[in-house]
Amino acid sequence: MRSVKVTKASPFSLAISEIAPDKSISHRSAMFAMLAEGTSEITNFLRAEDTLNSLNIVKNLGATVVDDGVTIKISSEGIKESSEILDCGNSGTGMRLFCGLLSSAEGHFVLTGDEYLRRRPMKRVTAPLRDIGAKLDGRNNGDLAPLSIRGASLSAFDYKSKIASAQVKSAMILAALRADGECSYSEPELSRDHTERMLKGMGAEIETDGLTTRIKPMKKLLSPLKIRVPSDPSSAFFFAVAAAIMPGSDVLLEGVTLNPTRIEAFRALERMGADISYETIDNKYEPIGNIRVKYSPLKGIVVEDNISWLIDELPALSIAFACADGVSVVKNAEELRVKESDRISTVVNGLRACGIEVDEVHDGYSVKGGELKASTIDSHGDHRIAMSFIIAGMKCGMHVTDLECINTSFPNFFEIVQKITKVEFL
């Protein structure tokens, strides 16, 4: 499936329960089971390429994994050296978190990924880990995969990050759990906090005070996870945008995590004028509930705060910008340039191809709302670009190419799209 033509849709009303399970929590649930005593049980695990790669790496590191198709049970007697090269596929989350997890494990490990992941910068993780004693190397002095890790003794640290990154923070927290003393990690703004929430729920001694997280080394193995992975708000957001830009539309997104660090894009859509409501139904490791989005005319906004909380949703949010009255501005988002693609350039070029006026700067862009026009969009192997412009196609029709990447995070995306409009696979 190399490309798809999307037909302009009619107004729709839909409840969606089959949104892809959360990718961030699925990755972590597989990895963190390696730190537990006993058997972790995970239901609703995301069965997509990226997360299945993480699960396969856990197997290669010596864990026993039993999967009956509903529940995944993971038991580990400690991380074992693998004779296999550990393939993270397209996942920056997988590679960066495994760097932290493996930096203190006994043995030698090699992490690699697909052609896109091997181009992405890793020094933001490898440099601070090296500073505390990790033996990490890779191409371009440790900045590019494949990465070589030889487990080592790690020193306690007081690290102040220059960027707000949940991946960097998580890697350092995982390293801190086996360091030789209490550690602290500070960031310029609060990044997503799944790692802290889940590890604390397993018994790790982790405390957060504002922008600083303090971690005590594990005295013993943690309690096993018993978790149902909630639906991914980043995946749900595509259909929130669809409802928000199509007059007369209404969508109920069921069973998603309502973690405040994960629904910032919905808050931005609210500020644009969308009619959005929330209902909490569970709150163990994560608050979980439903989000309802109804169409209402949108207006332009400025997005410059809490960027790390909505970095993955900005491509889809930009489709809403294109349909809004007035100008929307994105600032402080240079991190977009080092995702699966340079998302600033791919968003800007895609919107321009659809007839929208866009100005680009080094850390963002501005979008003047107008009338989206059908075009042909190359995703450049970036799943979020592909899905965002497919959603745009519901408004005006669209031809989007290079689609295999969608399977990395949202394998049933098209099943939901086809409930709203017609698609033709080419």
Active site residues per annotation: 312
Phi (first) and psi of residue 181, to 5 degrees: 180, 175
Angle, vertex CA 357, rays to CA 312 and CA 314, nearest 5 = 5
Going by C-alpha positions, the residue among 390, 379, 380 that lies closest to residue 413 is 390
Q: Going by DSSP bridges, is the β-strand pair 183-186/212-215 parallel, antiparallel, or unpaired? A: antiparallel
Look up residue 280 and give its two tokens: 């909490």
DSSP 123-164: HHHHHHHHHTT-EEEEHHHHTEEEEEEE---B---EEE-SS-
The H or E element containing residue 353 is helix 343-353
Going by C-alpha positions, the residue among 82, 90, 94 that lies closest to residue 54 is 94
The H or E element containing residue 281 is strand 275-283
- Centroid of chain to Cα 160: 23
Q: Is 410 helix (H, G, I), strand (E, B) or coil?
A: coil
Measured between its terminal Cα atoms, the distance across the chain in Å is: 6
Q: Residue 112 and residue 53: Cα distance in Å, rounded?
A: 11
Going by C-alpha positions, the residue among 402, 382, 377, 379 that lies closest to residue 338 is 382
Look up residue 374 and give its two tokens: 């059908």
Q: Going by DSSP bridges, is the β-strand pair 206-209/212-215 parallel, antiparallel, or unpaired? A: antiparallel
The neighbouring-strand residues paired with 207 are: 214
- Centroid of chain to Cα 324: 26
Which residue blocks in 137-275 are alpha helix, DSSP H?
A: 139-142, 166-176, 194-201, 233-245, 264-271
